[in-house]
A and B are shown apart, each in its own frame.
Chain A
């Protein structure tokens, strides 16, 4: 596997379910990101982890809970979601372990989440 992978690619869940999204990067990067992509809206940065420490939580509701057990893996735990949380969730990684903002990000293919 190369680049950034995400599983599952598609997920349908009820509002009372608990599920997790998984991201893995094979690029040796130290920073990982979760984004939400909704139709007709700009990408929304949700969380940033640098060297396995959360450095940014962009006012995301507590029903989204990230976890970064090591520099290669990132999870997004979901519980009690709302229909408006339906979106494409993208994971990304970069070499930017210091928040310099000069490094490009490498994205996974995303998980298409539908909340019913």
Chain B
């Protein structure tokens, strides 16, 4: 069975400071990892993904994430947070199996609050 965990319900950061949103996963094979962001009254928006290759993945709006196989983590980072980054962030994991359709699993979400 696969699972994904976002250990923090909320992350508070001052504008201009680095932002980190944590994600850990558990899969039996090679994971495919994704980050999404959800603004109020909107659907989820894709930020970035790791499938294979370079462990550091760059995505939209200045976000990046690092795949760490030994720690089974895929933390989302931004060097300098903006007030407009305040939103709900979701980590998701999937993997290639004979029955992949139901295996795209989302974390519970982390609310990011960036204060001016």
Contacts and interface: CB of A to CB of B under 8 A. Distances in A.
A104 B34 contact: yes
Nearest to A9: B41
Interface in A72-112: 90, 92, 99-102, 104-110
Contacts, number: 61
Interface string A41-56: 1110100101000011
Interface of A: 4, 6, 40-43, 45, 48, 50, 55-56, 58, 90, 92, 99-102, 104-110
Given A43-B90, A102-B32, A107 B43 contact: yes
B100 A90 contact: no
Contact of A106 (B46, B96, B102, B104): B46
16 contacts: A6-B43, A40-B108, A41-B108, A42-B107, A42-B108, A42-B109, A45-B102, A48-B101, A101-B32, A101-B95, A104-B49, A105-B44, A105-B104, A107-B43, A107-B45, A110-B41
A41 B107 CA distance: 9
A72 to B, nearest CB: 17
B47 to A, nearest CB: 9
Given A48-B101, A100-B100, A105 B107 contact: no
B73 interface: no
A104 to B, nearest CB: 4
A108 B104 CA distance: 17
A7 to B, nearest CB: 13
A2 to B, nearest CB: 13
A108 B29 CA distance: 30
B65 to A, nearest CB: 13
B106 interface: yes
A58 to B, nearest CB: 6
Select the residue from B36, B45, B94, B95 with max chain A CB neighbours within 10 A. B94
Nearest to B43: A107
Contacts of A45: 102, 104-105
B102 A90 contact: no
Given A40-B108, A41-B108, A101-B95, A58 B102 contact: yes
